Amino acid sequence: GAVVSQHPSRVICKSGTSVKIECRSLDFQATTMFWYRQFPKQSLMLMATSNEGSKATYEQGVEKDKFLINHASLTLSTLTVTSAHPEDSSFYICSARDPGTGDGYTFGSGTRLTVV
Amino acid sequence: GENVEQHPSTLSVQEGDSAVIKCTYSDSASNYFPWYKQELGKRPQLIIDIRSNVGEKKDQRIAVTLNKTAKHFSLHITETQPEDSAVYFCAASPSGGSNYKLTFGKGTLLTVNP
C-alpha cells in the first residue's frame, strides 16, 4: 500500500531556533499533503493543507509565518517550525492519500518535537 | 466546516466482550468515514472505512455501520483482545478524493482487560 515517510522521528531544539520536518510519499505522487499536530492525549488537529506548486492553506488560528510549508515536488512536503518555543512541543504528523489505489489516508510516522 | 463528535472518550471491556464506539458528523456533504487505531507514540493506522453508498462493512472482528440520514456511524469490535487496546479515532471527509481533508473525532481510549 501507499507509504509516507517522515523525518526526523524525534528532535530536540533550543527555544528560538527553527526545525524542519520532511514528509515524503514513497511510491505515489501526492499533490496534496496534510499536516497535523497532536498534543498528549488529544486528537489530531489539522494545521494546514500542503499543495504542490502553490501556497499552503492554513487552518484558522495557525500562524502561517511560524509554520512554513513548502511542497516543491509531487513527493515531498516540508514543515518548518520557526522560532520555536516550548509551547510548540508536540507530535507533528503528515498524511496523504494515493488516489490511484482507493486506500484511506496514509500517515507518516510522526515527529516528536521538544523545545527546551 | 465539519464537526465530528465521538463517544465515549474511554471504554474498558473484558477480553472477549464487544466494544462499540459512536460518532456523529455535521456536514451532509461528508461521504467518506474512516476509523483509525493509534498506539502510544505511533502513527494512526487505518483499520476500516466506509463510504456513504454503503450502510455496513465488516472485516473479520471489526465492523462499521453508517446511518447517513441520522449522520452517525459506529465502530464495532467483537471478541476483543488485549492487543486491541489503543486509542481509536473516527473521521469524516466530504470526499474520498485526495484533496479533501479529514476531520477527526476526539478519540476513544479502549482498554481490553485480560
A43–B99 CB contact, under 8 Å: no
- On the question of pLDDT at A103 being above 70, the answer is no
Residues of B in contact with A93 (CB under 8 A): 43-44
Mean pLDDT along residues B107-112:
98
pLDDT tier at A75 (50, 70, 90 boundaries)?
Answer: very high
Mean pLDDT along residues B97-114:
87
- On the question of pLDDT at B111 being above 90, the answer is yes
Q: What is the pLDDT of residue A104?
A: 72
Minimal CA separation from B45 to chain A, in Å:
8
Q: What is the pLDDT of residue B52?
A: 81
Q: Which positions 17-46 of A are in contact with B (Cβ < 8 Å)? A: 30-32, 34, 42-46
**Residues B75-96: pLDDT tens digits?**
999 999 999 999 999 999 886 5
pLDDT tier at A16 (50, 70, 90 boundaries)?
Answer: very high
**Residues B1-46: pLDDT tens digits?**
889 999 999 999 999 999 999 999 999 989 889 999 999 989 999 9
Angstrom distance (rounded) from CA A91 to CA A114: 9
Report yes or no: A3 and A96 within 8 Å, Cβ to Cβ: no
Q: What is the pLDDT of residue A101?
A: 66
Write out chain A in H/E/C secondary structure.
Answer: CCCEEEECCEEEECCCCCEEEEEEECCCCCCEEEEEEECCCCCCEEEEEEECCCCCEECCCCCCCCEEEEEEECCEEEEEECCCCHHHCEEEEEEECCCCCCCCCEECCCEEEEEC
Amino acid, single-letter form, for residue B15: E
